Each structure stands twice: as structure tokens, then as C-alpha cells.
Structure 1
Amino acid sequence: MAEILVLYYSRFGATATMAEQIAHGVESVEGASARLRTVPPVSTVCEATADDIPATGPPYAETADLAECDGLALGSPTRFGNMAAPLKYFLDSTSDLWLSGTLAGRPAAVFTSTASPHGGQETTLLTMMVPLLHHGMYLVGLPYTESALRETSGGGTPYGASHYAGNHSDRPVDEHERRLCRVLGARLADAAVTLARGRTA
């Protein structure tokens, strides 16, 4: 069984909804399962800490979750065209995995949500790919053979799934965006299953 880690940070819930849809896509592939994990917020006050277990939603990620995964879907809201600080903070703690090459040769995908349609979706996705490339991961995107990518009036890019949340972050993830999340999850899972078969052959 190939296990896909769906790791994300969400502030207003849209990225969490996308993560759930990606997990559905993962689990639509025979031989694949999804592990949902999030990261705690960070604070400029060094004494501030989060509880070990979040009040709602999936558990917080540990580097062991990354080490144990066969593939990774990484999601974040956009912050000035880049991933949010909590997710970057977590990735900055993965030097031991980089030194050992633990994630090298595993597939990965990225997803994001923005408050405006031109709010940096593509730059966020591209910059989220950079640490994954440093880890030696293979990147999976969305092909234009997927009709929802051509039909969407909200989010959707060839670099990964995206969502337009609106100025007040209250626009729900629409059906095209949900479809693209599920397709991305399925493509990622399919890649992980295929690569896992190759390693055991």
C-alpha cells in the first residue's frame, strides 16, 4: 500500500477543504491511502506554543510522517506569492531528511488558495516546489487533458490545484476546483504506486 502524506496549513478552511479533496483522489487509486496532517501556526512571540494536538482537524505533522510517506501533497494559502510561514517553518526542520536523501525519488504535488484571482497562485505553487526539488522529489502537475483546467473560472493551474477564495476568504471551493484537487490526488497516488512497484520488482 502506497501512503500519500497530504500536508497543509489552512487559515480560513479553504486549503483544508482542498486537502480533503486531494485525499479523496488519492484513495480512489487502488493500492494507495492518504494520511492527512497539518502544521501549527507560528508566532513572533517566542514563548507562544501550540497544544500538541489541534482542537479540530488532523494531527500535527512530524518529520516521521514525511519519512514514512511514499508521496507528498503540500498545500498552503498564498502569502505575498509564497507559502505561509507555518509550512515553511516545518519544511525548514527537515534537514535530516535532506542529508539522508530520504525523500529522493518520491513523487510530490502542490496546492494553494488565494484571496484574489491574481494573488500569486502560480508563484506560490512554483516556490513550494523548490524545497521539494532540493529533496530530490519528482513533481506531478495537472495536464490540460483534464477538461476542468480549461473550464474553471476560479482556481486551477498546470502547476497544481488552486482555489480563488474571494476578498473575504469566504468563497467555497467550487466543483471545478474540487475536481482538479481529486485529479491531482489521483495522479500523485498513481505515480507513487507505480514507483513503489518499480522499487520492489
Structure 2
Amino acid sequence: MAQPYVLVLYYSRHGKTEAMARHIARGVERISGMEARLRTVPAVSADCEASAATIPDSGALYCSSDDLKHCAGLILGSPVRFGNMAAPLKYFLDSTSPLWLTGALIDKPAGVFTSSSSLHGGQETTLMSMALPLLHHGMVFAGIPYSEAGLLQTQSGGTPYGASHWSGNNNQNALSEAETNLCQAQGERVARLAEALTSLNDGVPK
């Protein structure tokens, strides 16, 4: 039997969302027997066509439909784009109707994360924009509970809707300790839920 995995799927332009994804993956792998699978999506051009390349030059591989179909859980990340998710991630999600038709993602846990250059630049609306298609897929949405001290201590990113990071002007801010801890806590929580729901749903036909 293949090892269950949480898919950490993100788009990153300047590296901060990718850095968050790697901390989230570390949190996922705190749960014994659960793998973190890092994947990204290609950029889109002005005429909204995805890049023809199938393998990126560096970093995570591009996500396939099968990566998404067979995950035990999903954590989705994007930088803020005018209070919304970035176009490449939206383009990918718009291609997932076949999985919606078959109910492939129903009852799997999901979370979201984001980064922005301005402190009040639309982090929470971006997180909610990513949550909407996951709810349409029937996924079980998991935020970050206030039992995580970082939510009360952070002076930058961090929300109950999902992890976030304030990168600052010119992208100069490193992830703070609170932001890093919240990323790892989110990964661990989704992985723990994935483990529980996978066990609960074993043997139940989809």
C-alpha cells in the first residue's frame, strides 16, 4: 500500500510562498507515516495559456491531476494578487472539474496559506478565495486554532484561516518565528486530520 501524503501545492513568484510551503511540509512530516509532497504550478502568459514546460528548471515539480486525486490531504498556497489567489493557481484549479465530477476530494482535509508585501494587503481575502474551490470539492476545511500561541503573539503574518507571511517592501522580510511556527503547526494539523480521516474512510467506496 502506498504511503499516504499531504499535497502542499503552491505558486511562488519571489520565493516567500515557497519558503512557507517547505515549513508546512516539515510540519506534515511530524506525523509518523505521512509524507509531504511539494508541488507547484507553471506560470501563465498574458493570453492565459499555461507554460508548455512539463518540468520546471528548479524547485518542486509541477502538479498533476493524479497528485491531487490521490492525496490524503491538501494545503494550498499563493501570494496575494489584488486580494485574490494568483492566476496560475486559479488556472490549475479551474482544470479540476473531472475530480469534482467523481468526488475524488470529498472528505479530505484541506488548508490554505499566503504571503503579501503589504501588511494589510488582502491576506485574509486571498485565503478565503483559495478555500472556496476546496469547499466546492467537498473537502474538510481546516484553519489554525487559537490554541497556537503564535496567533496571539505575531506582529506580522498569521491568521485563523491559514498561515500567512508579511514579506515587506522589496520582499526583504524573512519569515518570523511566529510565522514559521504557524506554518509548521498548520502542516501538522492537516496531516493529523488526514491520518484520522484516511483510517476512518478505509474500506468505504468512493
TM-score band by shorter chain is over 0.9
Please give the secondary structure, in 2, of the residue aligned with 1:80: coil
TM-score, normalization by structure 1: 0.97
Give the gaps of 5 or more residues in structure 2. none
Task: Return the letter of the residue paired with 2:28.
Answer: V
Pairing 1:111–2:106 present: no
Indicate the residue corresponding to 2:77 in structure 1.
75
Whole-angstrom distance in 2 between the partners of 1:45 and 1:80:
19
Query: How far off is 1:154 after superposition?
Result: 1.0
Whole-angstrom distance in 2 between the partners of 1:133 and 1:48:
25
Give the gaps of 5 or more residues in structure 1. none
Indicate the residue corresponding to 1:131 in structure 2.
133
Whole-angstrom distance in 2 between the partners of 1:113 and 1:14:
7
Pairing 1:55–2:57 present: yes
Whole-angstrom distance in 2 between the partners of 1:197 and 1:53:
33
Query: How far off is 1:47 after superposition?
Result: 7.2
Whole-angstrom distance in 1 between the partners of 2:50 and 2:107:
37
Whole-angstrom distance in 2 between the partners of 1:110 and 1:25:
14
Aligned residue-pair number: 201
What is the Cα-based RMSD across aligned positions, in Å?
Answer: 1.3
Query: How far off is 1:119 after superposition?
Result: 0.4
Query: How far off is 1:46 after superposition?
Result: 6.3
Answer yes or no: is the 8 Å Cα contact 1:22–1:182 preserved in 2: yes
Whole-angstrom distance in 1 between the partners of 2:43 and 2:70:
23
Indicate the residue corresponding to 2:181 in structure 1.
179
Whole-angstrom distance in 2 between the partners of 1:164 and 1:137:
27
> Paired residue for 1:43, among 42, 45, 48?
45
| Alpha-carbon distance change, 185 to 47 in structure 1, aligned in 2, over 3 angstroms | closer
Structure 1 residues 4-59: Cα deviation after superposition (integer angstroms, max 9, x where no partner): 00000000000000000000000001121110000010001467734221111010
Task: Return the letter of the residue paired with 1:173.
Answer: L
Answer yes or no: is the 8 Å Cα contact 2:12–2:78 preserved in 1: yes
Query: How far off is 1:170 after superposition?
Result: 2.2
Identity, % of aligned positions: 57
Whole-angstrom distance in 2 between the partners of 1:134 and 1:45:
27
Indicate the residue corresponding to 2:197 in structure 1.
195
Pairing 1:3–2:5 present: yes
Whole-angstrom distance in 1 between the partners of 2:50 and 2:188:
38
